[in-house]
């Protein structure tokens, strides 16, 4: 992909959010709603960053503020080093957003959609990369079809291409795989990885925690308008401090004396499951202790907590 269009300030963080507050005005008999309550968040340049949180946490509000679609009530937002209030044009140029809703003009062809979008961003004709983009998202064959004839998956791919017309440094994907088939999901993730390899910072929200665990190198969890934590995915998974050793003990049924702080149960398949806190006892020390207690060990596996465990514990929803 050619270099991004915007001249940028070198910054370790692609996005810096400080004290971000959003109060939606009262409407239709509903009282005002404070969706963001002083959110602080830094998103490192070059990362694939997952923004997670339960329903109503404020993810879409945050993304819409970044995209310039919702006005913040207070706080500071810097995008690629540009303050949104001081340099609105530059901060907008640094970011591309693939929204959740399929907001595509049904009477435009994919090619025309991309050209219109490029016009909106002021991309000169000589710097447009419409054909490459159509190819990137696999829509070259449909380039001249009316968008209303595209399948739901094709419309999503067009949205991805639209988010990229101005070669942003940062790409935001809001629930990109909600309700999409496996083929489209794979296409999306392939593209996301490729763009990230080329230096693009990727921010995504998803309800699929497995997906976040697999794709994101850093994850922030927000809840009720506030940041709960923002950490490397590996560190985050380490937080649960709970693992389970699964042991095939063969015919032997008697439980050995277990080290302090561990808990054992027999699973339906007959295997012994011993839960322990890695910070308290290391896996190999636990196995040594079980051997010393003459427990027959025919086979052994370790189950580590996944993001879902951590997420549920931190958000208690
Ligand atoms: N336009 C609006 N007017 C009033 N309240 C709103 C508006 N948009 C969102 N809210 C409220 O603000 C809070 C945060 O909503 P937001 O959509 O940002 O959360 P979310 O984390 O994206 O949730 P979800 O995972 O369900 O999409 C919710 O309580 C929501 O009802």
Q: What is the extent of the structural domain holding 156?
A: 105-164
On whether both 63 and 201 belong to a single domain, the answer is: yes
How many domains is the chain partitioned into structurally?
3
Between the CA of 102 and the centroid of ligand 1 the distance, in Å, is 18
Q: What is the pTM of this model?
A: 0.81
The answer to the question of residue 56 being in a domain is yes
Ligand 1 touching residue 57 (CB < 6 A)? yes
What's the pLDDT at 209? 83
Helix axes 182-197, 152-164, angle to 10 degrees: 10
Is 7 inside a domain boundary? no
Report the separation in Å between the CA atom of 60 and the middle of ligand 1, taken as the mean of its atom positions: 7
Cβ neighbors of 215 (< 8 A, separation 6 or more) are 48, 50, 189, 192, 204
Domain for residue 5, yes or no? no
Angle at 122 between CA 51 and CA 59, to 5 degrees: 15
Task: Look at residue 100 and tell me if it is in a domain.
Answer: no
Contacts of 252 (CB under 8 A, 6+ apart): 295, 296
DSSP state string for 238-300? HTT--EEEEEE-TT--PPPPPPTT-EEEE-TTS-EEEEE-TTTS-HHHHHHHHHHTT---SEE
Q: Is 55's C-beta closer than 6 angstroms to any atom of ligand 1?
A: yes
Q: If you measure from the C-alpha of residue 292 to the centroid of ligand 1, how many angstroms do you get, rounded to a whole number?
A: 56
Same domain, yes or no, for 229 and 174? yes
**Beta carbon of 56 within 6 Å of any ligand 1 atom:** yes
Query: Does 226 sit in the ligand 1 pocket, CB within 6 Å?
Result: no
**Looking at 179, 202, 233, which one is the last position of a domain?**
233
Q: For the packed helices 110-120 and 152-164, what is the interaxial angle rounded to 10 degrees?
A: 30
Does 160 share its domain with 284? no
Q: With a 6 A CB cut-off, is 96 part of the ligand 1 pocket?
A: no
The predicted pLDDT at position 3 comes to 44
| Spacing, Cα 32 to ligand 1 middle (Å) | 12
* Torsion from C-alpha of 83, 84, 90, 94, nearest 10 degrees: 100
Domain containing residue 34: CATH number: 3.40.50.300
Same domain for 53 and 197: yes
Are residues 248 and 307 both part of a single domain?
Answer: yes
Question: Residue 107's closest CA among 135, 138, 149?
Answer: 149
Query: pLDDT in tens for each of the 317 residues of the chain?
Result: 444 444 555 568 999 999 999 999 998 888 999 999 999 999 999 999 999 998 899 999 999 999 998 999 999 999 999 999 999 999 999 999 998 888 888 889 999 999 999 999 999 999 999 999 999 999 999 999 888 888 888 899 999 999 999 999 999 999 888 878 888 889 889 999 999 999 999 999 988 888 888 899 999 999 999 999 999 998 887 777 788 999 999 887 788 888 888 999 999 999 999 999 888 899 999 999 998 888 899 999 988 877 777 787 778 75
Nearest-CA residue for ligand 1 atom 29 is 56
Q: How far is the CA of 317 from the centre of ligand 1 (A)?
A: 17
Domain identity same for 140 and 183: no
Question: For residue 2, is it within any domain?
Answer: no
Nearest CA to ligand 1 atom 30: 56
The SS3 assignment for 165 reads coil
In this structure, are residues 228 and 314 in contact, taking their beta carbons and an 8 Å threshold? yes
CB of 47 shorter than 6 A to ligand 1: no
58 lines ligand 1 (CB under 6 A): yes
């Amino acid at each position: 992909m050619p270099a991004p269009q915007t001249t940028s300030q070198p910054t370790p963080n692609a996005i810096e959010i400080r004290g971000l507050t959003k109060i939606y005005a009262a409407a239709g008999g509903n009282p005002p709603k404070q969706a963001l309550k002083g959110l602080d968040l830094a998103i490192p340049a070059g990362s694939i960053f997952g923004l997670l949180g339960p329903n109503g946490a404020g993810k879409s509000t945050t993304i819409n503020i970044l995209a310039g679609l919702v006005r913040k009530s207070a706080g500071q937002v810097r995008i690629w080093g540009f303050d949104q209030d001081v340099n609105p044009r530059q901060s907008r140029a640094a970011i591309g957003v693939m929204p959740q809703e399929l907001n595509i003009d049904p009477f435009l062809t994919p090619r025309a959609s991309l050209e219109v979008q490029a016009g909106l961003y002021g991309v000169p004709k000589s710097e447009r990369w419409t054909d490459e983009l159509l190819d990137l998202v696999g829509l070259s064959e449909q380039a001249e079809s009316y968008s209303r004839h595209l399948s739901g998956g094709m419309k999503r791919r067009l949205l991805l291409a639209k988010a990229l017309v101005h070669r942003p440094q940062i790409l935001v994907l809001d629930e990109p795989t909600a309700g999409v088939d496996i083929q489209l999901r794979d296409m999306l993730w392939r593209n996301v990885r490729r763009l990230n390899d080329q230096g693009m910072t990727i921010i995504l929200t998803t309800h699929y925690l497995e997906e976040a665990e697999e794709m994101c190198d850093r994850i922030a969890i927000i809840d009720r308008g506030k940041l709960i934590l923002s950490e490397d995915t590996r560190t985050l998974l380490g937080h649960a401090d709970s693992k389970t050793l699964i042991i095939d003990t063969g015919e032997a049924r008697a439980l050995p004396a277990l080290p302090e702080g561990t808990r054992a149960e027999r699973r339906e398949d007959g295997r012994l499951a011993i839960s322990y806190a890695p910070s308290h006892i290391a896996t190999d020390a636990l196995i040594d202790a079980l051997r010393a207690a003459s427990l027959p060990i025919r086979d052994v596996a370790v189950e580590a907590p996944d993001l879902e465990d951590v997420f549920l514990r931190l958000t208690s929803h």
